[in-house]
Amino acid sequence: YINIDDYEGGFDDATIDGIISSIESDYENWTSNFALLVVDNSDPISVNNLAKCLKRMRHEFAAPLAKTVFRSDKRDILDKVTTPCTIIQTTNDIVVPGSVADYMHKKIKGKSTVEIVNTNGHFPQLTAHLEFLAVLAGVLGFEI
């Protein structure tokens, strides 16, 4: 997630520190704001569902989990991945920009493809589930 050298992960250290600080200082407010940022806000039901889901997480686990997620960097293993991969990316994801999908596609050693789901946000399975299912069906060879 962190921008480093030629890698645009979407966040700088200060932004990640701010996210973690918000989680630690006002978890309830953070859940609502984060859901608005990462889910296509033209789908208020999905925004609300994610916010409720986040609120069910025990707040004392949220900051360590966020630190693990946002500070983990496994780019160095991409060139060891030989299993065919499909990278599913939305057209406008504030959490994982399209540059991440492009980077992964270039670095994965095995065959990889990038499938774009035409929706905003980080959760196409919530906001564009039919298009998301169509991508999965194509990858898995199913007909829907």
Note the pLDDT tens digit of each residue in 7-23: 888 889 999 999 999 99
DSSP lists the bridge partners of residue 113 as 86
> How do residues 78-94 score in pLDDT, each as one tens digit?
999 999 999 999 999 99
* DSSP string for residues in 18-83: HHHHHHHH-HHHHHHHHHHHHB-TT-HHHHHHHHHHHHHS-HHHHHHHHHHHHH---GGGGGG--S
What pTM was estimated for this model as a whole?
A: 0.87
- pLDDT tens, position by position, 97-129: 999 999 999 999 999 999 999 999 999 999 999
The C-alpha atoms of residue 71 and residue 87 are separated, in whole angstroms, by 21
Burial-class residue 105 by CB neighbours within 10 Å (0-12, 13-18, 19+). middle
What type of residue sits at position 74?
A: K
Distance between CA atoms of residues 131 and 107, nearest Å: 26
> What residue segments make up the domains of the chain, in order of their start?
13-71, 76-140
Mean pLDDT of the chain, nearest integer: 94
